[in-house]
Amino acid sequence: MQDIQEKIHEYLSRLSDGIHFSGSVLASLNGKVVFQGDYGKSNFELSTDHTERTRFRIGSITKSFTAIAILQLTQKKLIQLDDPIIKYFPHQKGSGQITIHHLLTHSSGIVNYVDDPHLLDWFASPSTTIELINRFSDLPLAFEPGQQFSYSNSGYILLGALIECITGKSFGSYFQDFIFKPLDMMDTCIDHPATMINDRASGYQINDEGLLSNAPYIDMSNTHAAGAIISSIRDLFKWDQGIESNSLLSAKMKWKMLTPYLKAAEFSYGYGWIIQDTPYGRVVGHSGGVHGFSSIFLKYIDRQATVIVLSNIFQPVDTIGTAIAEIILNK
């Protein structure tokens, strides 16, 4: 165990000595934490250290939470995955052919609203759920629903809106009541610029000169159920254990969520989860990237191993996650 900890610490120390990594890392085997460490600064201007309770924007890892919420509503028989979304979004182009399953698997054909070339202009101001949907609802579909995989944040905006439509709560309130609170995830919430959030990390990026700079401001209401969660390394491990113990979903529904439905270039996609077969067995998880932050959650289900990496520098951490997994799985 000490050998694992030393190898991971040495690896992360090398990265954080420059500006290649700043954040929190956790690795577990068989439900037990084998490594947890914090590197860099949560705020470089104030020289504030990260802790296990530092809160990071987790970006698209939010989609895995949204998928769990949708499957909870399915378990309660409030919706069916093959329901056409025209029942809920009659003004969405193609809604008669698009199902909830298509939204969950990025196979709806709805264009990705974040591809808007003027994104940063309007991302700086708050948007309501309706305003977000109106940005893409009239646009032609990119392909016939169900024909292929094409990553679309727009689909997860609609899934968040569906949660609100069915429950009468905001999607954030639903998450709080049926995911965060049951798992005692006290550091986790929907990020909002007007809300005072203790231990919130500041976000950074590498500029054209190769130097660290502040990330551009965005209003997180624009990422909605596709990317608005803020969480800590401690809480995401609680979430991992909640998934493992079937606290959030029945075992049958959990495996439905983790079934590969569509093949992309290098991975398959389930319901809100990326799925890959590796030399270490099947890994499920998701990465996240939002201005100033990068994250990855990897769950090696055949080896009962989990790796979580949260960073407040906007550059991919996928290779960091897989490198740590190799250390703990080659012990």
Q: pLDDT for 293-306, tens place per residue?
A: 999 999 999 999 99
CA distance 128 to 219: 11
The structure tokens 């609100």 sit at: 164
* Residue 164, helix vs strand vs coil: helix
The CA distances from residue 176 to 76, 180, 189, in Å, are 18, 5, 7
Residue 1 has pLDDT above 80, yes or no: no
Q: What is the pLDDT of residue 265?
A: 79
**Alpha carbon distance 237, 33 (integer Å):** 9
CATH, domain 2-329, list 1.10.1450.10, 3.30.200.20, 3.80.30.20, 3.40.710.10:
3.40.710.10
Render pLDDT for 235-281 as a digit per residue (tens, 0 to 9): 999 999 999 999 999 999 999 999 999 888 789 999 999 999 999 99
Q: Would you place residue 324 in the very low, low, confident or very high pLDDT band (cuts 50, 70, 90)?
A: very high
Per-residue pLDDT tens digits for 136-191: 999 999 999 999 999 999 999 999 999 999 999 999 999 999 999 999 999 999 99
CB–CB of 32/208 below 8 Å? Answer: no
For the whole model, what pTM was predicted?
Answer: 0.96
